[in-house]
Amino acid sequence: MLAAVAQIDYRPNRLARNLRLQKSETIGVVVPDIENPHFSEMVRVCEDSAFSAGYRVLLCNTDETPEKQRAYLETLADERVLGAIVTPADSRGVGLESLLELGIPIVAFDRVIDDPRADAVICDNVDSTRRATEHLIWLGHERIALIGGRPDVETGAERLEGYVAAMRAVGLTPFSVNGGFRTDVAEREVQTLLAMPTRPSALVVANNLMTIGALRAIKQTGLRIPLDLALVSIDDPPWAELIDPPLTVVAQPVRRMAETAIQLLLQRIHGRLGEPVRVVLPLDLRVRSSCGMRLSTANQRRG
């Protein structure tokens, strides 16, 4: 009998199976922007583990808009996915209920979700900009500006917070602009910033997309890094060490974060795991050359 089945290479109809079981062996991956290397790496890792586990990946790109997020989350609920990994586009987590109500497990990535039922894998965003800023302060900089992300999403708010904390801690006045986590916006903001009479001597840029924008703007002004302007970027894309000078960055362990997230999800799907967990992974300051040497001792603030 089984032999006969094998011979006529019978393929069970997955659509019928899905209906009967009220589930599809699919996991949803919801990200703001798949073109951002941060997320394409994350998606890559998820896809790999999902494939190994015999599942498929439904890719959901929210463009950072709550509407698209809601639409996608409802779709995932309709499709009865086994679970979802989501980087929420808004702080409230619009649309998450649709999944939660059906008992579909969710793992938050990068940004936490305001729901006790969801797991989360994040890194210490406050610490990221704090360390970047402290590094610049240690090098002797005082006019340090932050090119921040959207302050209405957690990552943006926390990175702002870390920067402000580091500045205040040594009595410096924080000055930040909102680059919206976008290349084009950051480019414009940095243009105006560098045109100011007392332009900053150092920039902390809150993600890799905005770093591209900042570098473009800097290139236009003719300022040299690190001679005229120091720069620290959050995120360590592949090209960060190839450009001249190689960028000093605070790297997030994206691969480990993604691996953790997908493993958590798979375990939840299989019913293991009890209380929801929140995993916080450590950041890594990688000093390369975009901040130059320590400024003269006269300007130094602390040793």
Partner DNA sequence: TAGCTGTATGAAATCGAATTCTTACGAATC
Partner DNA sequence: GATTCGTAAGAATTCGATTTCATACAGCTA
Phi, psi (degrees; rounded to nearest 5) at 50: -60, -45
Binding partner of residue 228 among its own copies, DNA, none, CB under 5 to 8 Å per kind?
none
For 110, left (φ over 0), alpha (ψ -120 to 50), or beta? Answer: left
Interface with DNA includes 7 (CB under 7 A)? no
Q: Measure the CA–CA gap between 71 and 250, rounded to whole angstroms.
A: 34
Q: Measure the CA–CA gap between 90 and 4, rounded to whole angstroms.
A: 53
Q: How far is the CB of 166 from its own copies (least distance, A)?
A: 27
Interface with DNA includes 12 (CB under 7 A)? yes
Q: Residue 16 or residue 242: which is nearer to DNA going by CB?
A: 16
Alpha helices in the chain (DSSP H): 2-7, 14-21, 37-52, 66-78, 96-101, 125-138, 154-169, 183-195, 208-221, 254-269
Q: Measure the CA–CA gap between 247 and 239, rounded to whole angstroms.
A: 9
Binding partner of residue 117 among DNA, its own copies, none, CB under 5 to 8 Å per kind?
none
For 235, left (φ over 0), alpha (ψ -120 to 50), or beta? Answer: left
Binding partner of residue 223 among DNA, its own copies, none, CB under 5 to 8 Å per kind?
none
Contacting DNA (CB under 7 A), which of 3, 7, 13, 271? 13
For residues 58, 61, 64, 66, the Cα torsion angle rounded to the nearest 10 degrees is: -50
Interface with DNA includes 17 (CB under 7 A)? yes
Contacting DNA (CB under 7 A), which of 5, 19, 196, 277? 19
Interface with DNA includes 8 (CB under 7 A)? no
Q: Which amino acid is at 152?
A: D
- Residue 141 contacts residue 172 (beta carbons within 8 Å): no
Closest CA to 226 of 149, 111, 141, 113: 141
Of 222-281, binders to DNA (CB under 7 A) are: none
Q: How far is the CB of 21 from its own copies (least distance, A)?
A: 9
Binding partner of residue 44 among DNA, its own copies, none, CB under 5 to 8 Å per kind?
its own copies
Binding partner of residue 227 among DNA, its own copies, none, CB under 5 to 8 Å per kind?
none
Q: Residue 34 or residue 280: which is nearer to its own copies going by CB?
A: 34
Interface residues toward its own copies, by CB under 8 A: 11, 13-16, 18-19, 22, 24, 26, 29, 33-35, 37, 40-41, 43-44, 47-48, 51, 56-59, 61, 68, 71, 74-75, 78-80, 183, 212, 215-216, 219, 237-239, 242-244
Interface with DNA includes 198 (CB under 7 A)? no
Taking the alpha carbons at both ends of the chain, their separation in whole angstroms is 79
> Residues interacting with DNA, by CB under 7 A?
10-13, 16-17, 19-22
